[in-house]
Amino acid sequence: MNHFSNSFKSLVLLTATAALFACGGGDGGGDSGGGSSSGGSTAPAVAPSLSVTDLDIAAENNLESVYEVDVNVDISAISTEKAFISICDNGTAKGDLTKLDFNMCLLKSSLVDGKGEFDLRVANHCDELIAVIWIMEKDRAPLTYTLTHNNQKQTYWDIN
């Protein structure tokens, strides 16, 4: 039992020493004006307790983090040649194709005879999408189309 008592005393002494060093030793640069202390301590400020009932959420907000976009592409009046489409977040690029990261696109697909249908789930932080259609014809510039999110859960995007 004596060994346990000595170990316990050592543990208490070690803990007290660690606490003293962690707190800075007691004279941590406070007011050194030499005045007397009232002996009381100031309680730390307590953050107000919040609960779910404190949340203020509009009735129309269903707390969905994504929205859906149904994309219908028909460029057959422009071309029926082989074509590829990429749909990407346009937030950073703002229409500048040189700034668009095609590795991060939401969709990369081909069009059949200039047509395609796609269903996308898009994160709410993507306020604007850009569709880039590459038609495999010599000297043909890519076609670009943009869609701005209308804060609806379901959006339809006709590209023609």
CA distance 23 to 94: 52
CA distance 69 to 148: 11
Number of domains comprising the chain: 1
DSSP assignment of 97-150: GGG--GGG-SEEEEEBTTEEEEEEEEETT--EEEEEEEE-STTPPPEEEEEE--
User: Is residue 151 one of the residues assigned to a domain?
Assistant: yes
User: Is residue 75 one of the residues assigned to a domain?
Assistant: yes
Confidence at 156, pLDDT banded by 50, 70, 90: very high
- Does residue 3 have a pLDDT over 80? no
User: Is residue 77 one of the residues assigned to a domain?
Assistant: yes
pLDDT one-digit tens code per residue, 43-94? 777 777 888 888 787 887 777 789 999 999 999 999 999 999 999 999 999 9
The amino acid that residue 43 corresponds to is A
pLDDT confidence of residue 50: 83
Angle at 85 between CA 82 and CA 87, to 5 degrees: 180
Asked whether 141 and 54 are in contact (CB, 8 A), the reply is no
Return the minimum-mean-pLDDT range out of 24-33, 65-74, 134-143. Answer: 24-33
Nearest to 74, CA basis, from 111, 110, 108, 120: 111
The whole domain housing 126 covers 66-159
- The mean per-residue pLDDT over the stretch 128-147 comes to 96
More confident residue, 12 or 154: 154
Return the minimum-mean-pLDDT range out of 5-19, 41-55, 109-123, 136-150. Answer: 5-19
Instruction: Give percent of the chain with pLDDT exceeding 70.
Output: 74
Number of H helices, E strands in the chain: 1, 7
pLDDT confidence of residue 135: 97
Residue 5 main-chain phi, psi, to 5 deg: -65, -45
User: Is residue 41 one of the residues assigned to a domain?
Assistant: no
User: Is residue 101 one of the residues assigned to a domain?
Assistant: yes
User: Is residue 88 one of the residues assigned to a domain?
Assistant: yes
User: Is residue 138 one of the residues assigned to a domain?
Assistant: yes
- The mean per-residue pLDDT over the stretch 3-13 comes to 56
Q: Which CATH number goes with the domain that contains 103?
A: 2.60.40.4150
Tokens 């703002």 locate to 94
pLDDT confidence of residue 2: 52
Q: Coil, strand, or helix at residue 37?
A: coil
pLDDT confidence of residue 61: 74
